[in-house]
Amino acid sequence: MVESFDRKRLAPLKDTVAVVGVGETDYGADYRGSGGKAVAKGEARYDSYTLASRALKRALDDAGLNKDEIDGLCTGPTLSGERASELWGLNPRWSGSGDAAQCIIEAAMAINCGLCTTVALVYGNAQRSMDTAYGGARVTGGGITSYFYYAPWGMTSQGALYALFFQRHKLLYGTTDEQLGSIAVAFRKHACMNPNAVMQKPLSLDDYMKAPYVAEPLRLFDYCLINDGGVAIILRRADMAKALKHPPVMVSGFGWSEENVDATQLRPRLKDFYHTAHRGVAAQVYPMAGVTPRDVDVFATYDSFSVHLLASLEGFGFCKEGEGGAFVQNGRIEIGGELPCNTSGGMLSESYMQSWNHQPELVRQLRGGLGARQVQGAAVAQYVHDVAGKCKSIIYTRGG
């Protein structure tokens, strides 16, 4: 494949933008509600803007910045940038929107182009309160997408699409349910070390195997949570990022590659496991950051389903294609193992913030001082975003 990007253009952007502040809502406490019982689905509590506002305030406090120093704004799903700016009295010169990785990359580019210096990236989602559906008759979405095109055959839901993906992986590589289960078990172990996580009950492999299937071969614990929350991240031009409350965490590498041809008929999902997109991103993010997979100390992947981790470990070269199942066993992806993954508990066990929550976790791991959850000596952290072949990655490193 012809490389359509020019490494020489990415390389100078290394370490030009830093994360200076992060903030999140109280996922676990909000989930459990005032009486300590899980908040019922559809029980309206706070709207997305309330949750996002709290996270923004915490991120600004964490950075030690005043909101008037924000001159760029990125909003995640469910928020309107215009309404958010008005609500928070922000007057951004530049704004963007998208998923977490997309917003980080867009903001880094805007900062590097001189359009702004300090960007607040803000996400809020009251999906449990709103009783949001990700499968079945209530699924919403625009036009022809694989999300619900196949409803007449009874085939919808992202989980079912990843069940097809895992079934194919099993057929081709002999990956076992126990191997897949190691992922949910590891993430839950991490969540139990994270006081802010929604799920605090230990999960054994036996518990995993005994749990009911949802879309076989995926079981209950292969699915992410549905909960409410907000996340905010403050990015700043690196030369303005010093002498704030925390040492800056550098955005050292990023990459972006998509695989959309024949996506609705599931070809890239089932015939390629999205590895073409993974390889495209890997070819950008590692050279830009000047590291290899072997240098990554802490790893996080978008994990609406456990299967995502198999795909990204293989696609980014942490193991060979088809060997993801063997890789995730024996504590290798747990804190203390050789590649701790989704150390907050991820979306399976910490909070389903469409991966916005993975960014504060990686930043905090690089800042250090997380107690039992700390990955010792963490200096390089990688996030991989892969939603249906729209793949991006960010590499963070510890700043001076």
* Whole-number Å distance between alpha carbons of 223 and 237: 37
Map the footprint of other proteins across residues 265-324, applying CB under 8 A.
265-267, 270-271
Check if the beta carbon of residue 18 is closer than 8 Å to that of residue 251: yes
Phi-psi region of 37 (alpha: psi -120 to 50; beta: other; left: phi over 0): beta
153 near other proteins, rule: CB under 8 A: yes
Q: Which two tokens stand for residue 88?
A: 């928070």
Residue type, 4: S
Q: Which two tokens stand for residue 110?
A: 């805007």
Contact pick of 48, 53, 129, 157 for other proteins (by CB under 8 A) = 157
155 near other proteins, rule: CB under 8 A: yes
156 near other proteins, rule: CB under 8 A: yes
Nearer to other proteins, 89 or 154 (CB): 154
Residue type, 376: Q
248 near other proteins, rule: CB under 8 A: no
Whose tokens are 């182009």? That residue is 113
Nearer to other proteins, 43 or 216 (CB): 216
Q: 196 in helix, strand or coil?
A: coil
Helix (H) or strand (E) segment spanning residue 349: helix 346-349
Nearer to other proteins, 264 or 330 (CB): 264
Contact pick of 60, 163, 238, 353 for other proteins (by CB under 8 A) = 163
DSSP 46: -
113 near other proteins, rule: CB under 8 A: no
Contact pick of 80, 91, 204, 264 for other proteins (by CB under 8 A) = 264
149 near other proteins, rule: CB under 8 A: yes
Shortest CB 241 distance to other proteins, Å: 44
Q: Is the dihedral of CA 138, 350, 224, 261 positive or negative?
A: positive
Interface residues with other proteins (CB under 8 A)? 135-137, 143-144, 148-157, 160, 163-165, 167-168, 171-172, 212-218, 261-262, 264-267, 270-271
